[in-house]
């Protein structure tokens, strides 16, 4: 699954366009490397997102094309 779509579906970032912009600005890294929006993520990957002064680090647990709000938090695990 594409990184931008994962960020949107898992609700780490609200909109896919915002996820794209964050990737283009170099604020998202996958497994320690700065990532573009088109990078494929798989379970076990570590995603780090910089929100201003705050960093969020999560591990991908599962992938799904779409989820309900309650199930979105099961797609990743905070580190």
**22-47 tens-digit pLDDT:** 999 999 999 999 999 999 999 999 99
In CATH terms, 3-78 corresponds, of 3.10.290.10, 3.30.1490.20, 3.40.50.2000, 3.30.9.10, to 3.10.290.10
Q: What is the Cα–Cα distance from 46 to 68, expressed in whole angstroms?
A: 23
Sheet holding 54-60, edge to edge: 33-34, 28-30, 46-51, 54-60, 76-78
Give pLDDT, residue 58. 96
DSSP state, residue 43? T
pTM for the whole structure:
0.92
**Where do the domains of the chain lie?**
3-78
Nearest residue to 61 (alpha-carbon basis) of 17, 19, 1, 18: 1
């Amino acid at each position: 699954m594409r990184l931008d779509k994962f960020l949107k579906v898992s609700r780490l970032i609200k909109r896919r366009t915002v996820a794209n912009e964050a990737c283009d600005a170099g604020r998202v890294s996958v497994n320690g490397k700065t990532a573009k929006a088109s990078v494929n993520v798989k379970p076990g990957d570590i995603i780090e997102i910089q929100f201003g002064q705050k960093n969020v680090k999560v591990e991908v647990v599962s992938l799904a094309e779409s989820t309900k709000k309650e199930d979105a938090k099961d797609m990743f695990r905070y580190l």
